[in-house]
Amino acid sequence: MSLKGKVAWITGGGSGIGLAGAIELAKAGAHVVISGRTAATNASALKQVQARGSAEVLQLEVGDNKAVLKAAADILLRHKRIDILINSAGTNLGKRHLGNMSVEGWDDVVRINLSGLFYCCQAVLPAMRAQKDGLIINVSSWAGRYPSMLTGPAYNATKRAVIALSESINLEECINGIRATSVLPGEVATPILEKRPVPPSNEERAKMLQAEDLGQTLLFLASMPARACVNELIISPTWNRLYIGGLEKAKA
């Protein structure tokens, strides 16, 4: 399916998976609206995307429902449509385990990873219903299907919930031509890794999925015909540390 003339809104578009997706969709002809929390990051990302195609930027905190509704209304006012929503905004904690995680930390992860994602979905659904067409891609995680000590319970729980929310959209909105996909990446070498208690080494990051791999994945999903719904897509690095750790324990 051609993306020319399509309008795509990408949250968390200032860096990592969101930025990589924005670049690929812009190259394919979509007009891309990227949003993120940080003005400097947004400005840098906008230059990169505009070098490949048509783009604009919104500063947005997805955990603020009123701000999300305003952002969606602004996009619709300018472009009259939103064809694709990619929810890539996400966060995690440094102190992320049950023994050291604060209630405030838990609330922050839920606010961004789950509530913020829901706010964005809810904001675009009326326009997509009117169009009788729309694609929502929710970036979940390998940890949403296979919980990990690396990621911690708040991240694991919210990313599992994203999968359920995506399927709920398909349950209720398929009659309106709207489809949703959960993308479950394994380890990706993006800036969120710096929040880990022990950030991976450069050697380890080189073996992970790269942001551009997920950019290509998002482009594939966005290019599928409207009759096709990819409910869930799991992608991991070939050198999968979660598998390798299990092999090492089995050999011990």
Active site residue 155: yes
Query: Which two structure tokens, joined as six digits, stand for 1?
Result: 């399916």
Q: Which of 119, 146, 155, 243 is catalytic?
A: 155
CA distance 219 to 208: 20
Active site residues: 155
